[in-house]
A and B are shown apart, each in its own frame.
Chain A
């Protein structure tokens, strides 16, 4: 699971959707893999407004990345290649191969195996 995907998902339990504690889901025992991918600045610029920056800062921190700036890059900052490349590296080139995503509200753990996260819920959480 890539970091961008982690920023797109929250707890699958319906009651958790309204709770601020359910997002972002927290990585536990995350085993990381870096992969080199084509840099597509157009994509980063397009997708950045959809990224929840506060949550991305939390995730980056949990995965051991240097602390991200307090505010989301906007305007001229989006023309700085290094800024976009750093985001490309974090959002697209970093993935969690093994580990867990844990909801801060209900405590449910979503397992990630071979890079695939499992968001299916047991009956008592549906």
Chain B
């Protein structure tokens, strides 16, 4: 059976991977029949209505789903398709209360034209009462027009007629409204690096967050990924080399760390496990399969260089005793940190994930790239991880990517020859260590000169 998914017209490269992730999570067999990045409409093949309802209930980038009754580039084609697909079912709907609406994407129809369109479906023989509020069935005629965005991007001619018309029986809406609840504007505790609610939820979806699972963020910050994964029922844990973001300042802590305020706000305190202070290159987590998912947005090192534990010159500072107590046990002790490579850090995250993910567990990692790398950029790879998807969020002069990996069960390996083989390892200045930082700053400098 075919279904029509109406997607949000944003974050285009994330939309198919998210649907596929939800299908994988729920064990739903899904085939994408028609997809176009410039339109919200996507046709999928699913086993039944139950699968369609389940799929949509977990989606963030989809809005709703309809049972597809027909499609065509003209009304003649559409009517013929509706006859062919659903004629045997019309009798089931003769007596239901119903609503029929015409939705135009990027186009317009006059009321008179809409009435004419309604009337052309007279053969469905819907004789029940028309009800705008709470009808038993809602039918939608959906017209999809070419947008100016598409015309500008790839030159498709715009037209006063739709490029595709669908008739669908509306089934259910998605979980998208949760974005309004989770929005950072209304969130009690955030930091400057909090991931926006929509993309945090999508990230959690793509990492297959679900009840019964343990999720971990090694760069937890103010915990935006944890609340997203916990929204989907996972129990979540995080760490950070700098505890200030999750702990909060004195006045921000009420009965516990500041980050917990958000779990209270969303009524998911029971989904929170712990947050602790640690460095991902010296983690205390046992190196055995403990985690079902890891989601993170590692620091990019643009505003400040990346830091891990250690000394800049590599020399060991021997412990000092002050008043009979080793200095490193005294209040206010700050362990020395050294600059670290951006790519080395990503390599360490993959290694961290390989050791601690359960088989088929997922790693979702964000990574920035300068836009000139957009065509071919090296994806960090590991033989024990399969790259499931790479999604791009473009900005004016840079972009960032979300990479999803699957931990391969023992005995399986992936082909890593296309991955990045060298890392930026062991330099000492922030620029030596971070190709992204150099590109980002050079680009901004040249833009400033142009102005």
Chains A and B belong together in one complex? yes
Residues of chain A touching chain B, judged by Cβ–Cβ distance below 8 Å, are 1-2, 4-5, 8-14, 17, 23, 37-38, 40, 42-43, 45-47, 50, 52, 92, 95, 109-111, 114-124, 126
Given A9-B286, A120-B335: A38 touches B274 (CB 8 Å cut-off): no
Which B residues contact A (CB, under 8 angstroms)?
211-214, 235, 237, 239, 241, 243, 246-247, 253, 256-257, 269-270, 273-279, 282-290, 292, 309-311, 316-319, 327-329, 333, 335-336, 358
What's the nearest-Cβ distance from chain A to residue B128, in Å?
A: 42
CB distance from A47 to the nearest CB of B (A): 6
- Beta-carbon contact of B241 and A120 below 8 Å: yes
The B interface is mostly helix, strand or loop, or mixed, namely loop
Contact between B317 and A116, CB atoms less than 8 A apart? no
Closest residue on chain A to residue B282 by CB atoms: A12
Complex Cα gap A25–B432 (Å): 38
Min CB distance, B208 to chain A, in Å?
13
Contacts A2-B273, A115-B256 given: A126-B286 contact, CB under 8 Å? no
13 A-B interface contacts by CB (under 8 A): A1-B274, A2-B274, A8-B286, A9-B284, A11-B284, A40-B270, A92-B235, A120-B277, A120-B278, A120-B282, A120-B335, A123-B336, A124-B318
- Contacts A12-B279, A116-B275 given; 17 further ones with Cβ under 8 A? A4-B274, A9-B286, A10-B286, A23-B286, A37-B269, A38-B270, A43-B211, A43-B212, A43-B213, A45-B212, A50-B289, A114-B257, A115-B256, A118-B243, A121-B282, A123-B335, A126-B309
* B333 nearest in chain A by CB position: A122
Partner of A5, one of B276, B279, B336: B276
Q: A121-B309, A124-B319 are in contact. Are A116 and B243 (CB under 8 A)?
A: yes
A121 and B274 alpha carbons, distance in the complex (Å): 20
Provide the bound-state CA to CA distance between A40 and B269, in Å. 13
